[in-house]
Structure 1
Amino acid sequence: MSATGAEKQAAPASPEALRDEVVEQLKTVFDPEIPVNIYELGLIYNVEVNEARDVRVEMTLTSPNCPAAQSMPAEVEYKTRSLDGVGEVTVEVVWDPPWSTEHMSEAARLELGMM
């Protein structure tokens, strides 16, 4: 989503606007085994942006044995860091509450034929 030259956009004006950009960026990260982005899957529990424009993402995985346990948090960090105006990035993988299909958005459930 990074642009160059004249197309490059200015950093968002507020932490709230930057948070919205981070969420949109996270929607480009997909679980390798499920054809739905990790935000709609409910793997992102929280996104915080402070006044210094530091970003903290709290996420989980579908299971502790998830094959993407190393790569997915790294991709979340990389894609978040790639946005203009982002300061420090912290990605924390948490297991409480445990992920379940109840965390999925309605769109994700429809995509996976669960409705």
Structure 2
Amino acid sequence: MTEEVIQEIGDKIVRVLKTIYDPEIPVDIYELGLIYDVFVNEDNDAKILMTLTSPNCPVAETLPVEVEEKVKSLKEINNAEVEITFDPTWTQEMMSEEAKLELGML
């Protein structure tokens, strides 16, 4: 795969991630800073490294599944796997300027 194709697939994944919202905060998980990294290998398998706002997050069971399913729905992706990490711990500083503006923090 060329660098351009990889970038295109990455952009599509980001667009899909921006359709998933944290149920407690009216901002998508990408702008919230919950997505730490996205990897796509030569077999078009995606791995998403993400965190939750807290280990006790009410959607700890369902949010990773929703992320996997939505990323897998892209025709370019064969499989998707989500890995949850709490290192580093999520803080409000990880939110994008857009998210902070949306939440009245700027």
Provide the C-alpha distance between the structure 1 equivalents of 2:7 and 2:38, rounded to a whole number of angstroms: 10
* Residue in 1 that maps onto 2:39: 48
Asked which structure has the greater CA Rg, the reply is: 1
- Which residue does 1:16 correspond to in 2? 7
Please tell me the residue identity of whatever aligns with 2:84: V
TM-fit CA distance, 1:14: 1.6
Q: Where does the alignment leave 5 or more consecutive residues of structure 2 unmatched?
A: none
Question: In the alignment, which residue of structure 2 is the partner of 1:79?
Answer: 70
Equivalent in the alignment of 2:16: 25
Q: CA RMSD in A?
A: 1.0
| Residue of structure 2 in register with 1:3 after alignment | none
Counterpart CA distance in 1 for 2:79 and 2:68 is 10
CA deviations 1:67-94 (Å, max 9, x no partner) are 0101110100010000011022110000
Residue 15 of structure 1 and its aligned partner are, at CA, apart by 2.1
Q: Which 4+ stretches in 1 moved above 3 angstroms?
A: none
Q: Deviations over 1:44-74 (max 9, x none)?
A: 0001111211101000000000001011101
Amino acid in the other structure paired with 1:108: A
For residue 104 of structure 1, what is the aligned residue in structure 2?
95
With structure 2 as the length reference, what TM-score do the two structures score? 0.94
Length-normalised TM-score, structure 1: 0.87
Give the Cα–Cα distance (whole angstroms) in 2 for the partners of residues 110 and 16 of structure 1: 27
